[in-house]
Amino acid sequence: MSLATESKAGIFTVAPATLAKLTRQNGTHAAFGAELDTAAAAKSLDHVSYVFEVILAGAFALRASDIHFEPETEKTRLRLRVDGLLTDIHFFDPKTYHQLNSRIKLLSGVKLNVANRAQDGRFSVAREDGQVEMRVSFIPGNYGESIVLRILDPKATKVSYKELGIHPKLLARLETEIRRSNGMLLTTGPTGSGKTTTLYSFLREIHSPEIKIITIEDPIEYHLDGIVQTQVAGTKYTFAEGLKSIVRQDPDIIMVGEIRDGETADIAIQAALTGHFVFSTLHTNDAAGTFPRLCDLGADPKSFGSAVTVSMAQRLVRTLDPDKKKERPLTDAEKKMIANVFEPLADKTLIPEKIETVWEPSPANEEETGYKGRIGLYEAIFMNDELATLLRDNPPANEIAKLAAKQGYLMMAQDGILKALAGVTSLSEVAATIDLPQ
């Protein structure tokens, strides 16, 4: 009998044998689907628990970040997000879906009899190698509730900042910047671009018994030992209200999950000016866009030179599977495009001497993609006197980017091209993630 029957409220156990079975099958979609067929056809009293156990085990084996249940007219679609892309896995009949819905609601601590409004919950999955947190979202749909489970594997917080894919030259500078006693580091990018992982890796690197670190997040995604973490709670505890309270807690380092409004921006800037180092995020397209965005929120551009020390931007791209990639010659058009991308770079020593070939995926069958895992593309702008003077007049992002290029660090497009030339990712993957010149 599966250990899933021993699950307690709020904790669901995935048996080692179930996870090992799907992992041994190399985490293929076909093997996952076949195992779900077997589990769904079982007549035992606990078959729904076992179906859910197989879903979780398969998601772990495939390295998924999210599990989606999407009800349709006569069936419910199960999809997984792997390396940033959604993939169809299975279809369930309405009865199995409703049983799974109830099981997930019980685990998540949300109301069973509510299906006409959004609900959020959370539960833990016990595995042989430790617990994994699951953040759950329910929203009403035409044919039933759409359910999404976000997998929050604590191993993600164990990733060193040296393993994120940051270029060695930029990494060396950041190692100094994140240890400042005051200032602000802002990292930007769309949702799902790895900003939280980057900030957590920085916090883990600088954490020590001699300093106090406090965070305010929405929500707390991962628990960090030795760090005080607080969570936004509607209108009662907003980023701005929380930040006001945090600065009275004698912190050395403050992490604000996101700067969303002018009040939060002003308080964060004041904290950076009064002896604290602040980490936070913004939603902008690139590092240069950070400063116009702060101005849009109402922040005073005259304070940027003293408060903001680093503006970063990042994206995630899929990495090529080392066993499923091939090298090919660059076309003339690609060579021209690459030359255009590298042209503004001040430090020409970062450009390879020979640019003749590039790597691309070479999957063995239709189910494979040729990719495995993801890595970051990064860029950063560092504050200096020239930039501080320019920012006082709230210039457009393109003027900021032009001045920042003189600092000699890679922009995201240049970082992506270098990774494609080195066989870390493909040129097509970089082009799908970042706008490259033609």
Q: Which domains does the chain have, with CATH numbers?
A: 3-152 (3.30.450.90), 157-433 (3.40.50.300)
Say what the pLDDT of residue 26 is: 60
What is the SS3 assignment for 370?
coil
The CA radius of gyration of the chain, in Å to the nearest whole number, is: 24
Structure tokens at 37: 């067929």
Q: What is the pTM of this model?
A: 0.91
Distance CA 4, CA 425 (A): 39
Say what the pLDDT of residue 3 is: 40
Structure tokens at 279: 């980490």
Distance CA 264, CA 245 (A): 12
Q: For strands 213-217 and 228-231, give the pairing.
A: parallel
With beta carbons less than 8 A apart as the criterion, state whether 254 and 242 touch: no
Say what the pLDDT of residue 2 is: 41
The 10s digit of each residue's pLDDT in 318-375 is 999 999 999 999 999 999 999 999 999 999 999 999 999 999 999 988 888 999 999 9
Distance CA 111, CA 119 (A): 8
What is the SS3 assignment for 15?
coil
Say what the pLDDT of residue 6 is: 40
Positions in the chain short of pLDDT 50: 1-9
Say what the pLDDT of residue 389 is: 98
With beta carbons less than 8 A apart as the criterion, state whether 387 and 404 touch: yes
Closest CA to 98 of 69, 66, 133, 68: 69
